[in-house]
Amino acid sequence: MTSSDERPPRLRRRLFWLAAFLVVLFALYSGGWFYLADRLKTEADQASAKLQANGIVAGCASLAVSGYPMSFTVSCDNIAYEDDARKVAASTGSLNAVADITAPLSPVADLRGPLRTMAPGMPPLFIDWDQLQAKVKVSWPLPRSVSLRAEGLSGQTDPQDDTDPMQLFSAGKAAGQLQPIGQDINYIGSFGDLEINADAIGGRALPALDGSGEVTLKNGVALIAAPPKSLRGQSIDIAKLDLSSGTARITVSGPVSVDAEGLVDASLTIKLKDPKAVAAILGGAIPEHKGEIEQGFAGIAMLGKEPSLPLRIVKGKASLGFIPLGKIKPLE
């Protein structure tokens, strides 16, 4: 028998073992998928029971796991949390989170509104949106990043009596991302077409605003693990905070810290674009100081259309360049 006569049986054996390997691999994948689905439901039930034992009602109503075999999808009709002891409550609409087989460690979740909240010291809120999507890049012990993107945001009060709700704000879009960098937490965010209802801020008028920023919370990983009860001892590094409307723009950058006594220290740089337009906005927002604002910004405008000024705060005492601004009360 020649070598050419031996090839077909050898090829068939290879194909057989390849097919057998694929069948075993698929069986292992299927077993793992259904194990994780069952484990998720069990963990959710155990977590809910543990919270309920502590007087907290929380849950994901009608929790379901689907998507086999190409994805892992978790959905529920609504999410609710209620802690009567602390008088805190929150609820949202449906949740649909999907981890695709090609990117199992990067799930994407869509959450439907509205979000209704209640907490001591603030009125009940009703926040809604056209679309809200969250993306997580899973890692250990912390996610590599968590990002949110929303469109058509709006917020209003949610009275518990017969009084009418008050519109608070609306925004065309908003986005944010949290990412650990060493022991710090970095935040990058932006919003567009933000409109704040004048009635919500004492009748003060503000135009539509756009904003963006990047801030690093020092030692943020530890602070997330054990949230502090005070701002004292905390510090941030502002890479950029940018607020604009039309031709007016304010950009702030620099470090800010709060010492053990609650006194603020900061070394900031403030950049202005079109100071006269900025003054007009601030004058409308703070009409009781409109004259002083216009006078001060008239001097700043002499430095050019895009001046840069140092804002220094030392032990709570603030000054803009050589102009003293007063003292900031100690923070709690």
Q: What is the pLDDT of residues 189-204, one digit of tens each?
A: 999 999 999 999 988 8
Answer for the pair 58, 48: CB distance below 8 angstroms, yes or no. yes
Q: What is the pLDDT of residues 142-176, one digit of tens each?
A: 899 999 999 999 999 999 888 899 999 999 999 99
| Contact partners, residue 184, CB within 8 Å, separation at least 6 | 216, 217, 218, 219, 220, 221
pLDDT value at residue 31: 93
The structure tokens 């994948």 sit at 29
Percent of the chain surpassing pLDDT 90 = 71
| pTM across the whole model | 0.86
pLDDT value at residue 6: 54
Answer for the pair 268, 238: CB distance below 8 angstroms, yes or no. yes
Asked whether the predicted pLDDT for residue 4 surpasses 80, the reply is no
- Give 8 or 106, the one with higher predicted confidence: 106
pLDDT value at residue 7: 59
Cα 94 to Cα 112, 114, 149: the distances in Å are 5, 9, 17
Phi first, then psi, for residue 299 (nearest 5°) are: -70, -40
Q: Which helix (H) or strand (E) holds 195?
A: strand 184-196
Q: What is the pLDDT of residues 255-299, one digit of tens each?
A: 999 999 999 999 999 999 999 999 999 888 888 888 888 888 888
Answer for the pair 63, 76: CB distance below 8 angstroms, yes or no. yes
Q: Hey, what are 127's tokens?
A: 């926040």
Q: What is the C-alpha separation between 76 and 62, in angstroms, rounded?
A: 5
Q: What is the pLDDT of residues 222-246, one digit of tens each?
A: 998 888 889 999 999 999 999 999 9
In the predicted model, what is the mean pLDDT of the chain?
A: 92
User: What is the CB-side half-sphere exposure of residue 281 using CA atoms within 13 A?
Assistant: 19
Answer for the pair 116, 91: CB distance below 8 angstroms, yes or no. yes
| Contact partners, residue 144, CB within 8 Å, separation at least 6 | 137, 138, 179, 180
- Hey, which residues does 88 pair with through a beta bridge? 83
pLDDT value at residue 1: 47
Q: Kindly compute the dihedral angle of the four CA atoms of residues 204, 205, 208, 210, in this order, to the nearest 10 degrees.
A: -50
Q: Nearest Cα to 238, choosing from 199, 259, 263, 266?
A: 266
Asked whether the predicted pLDDT for residue 317 surpasses 90, the reply is yes
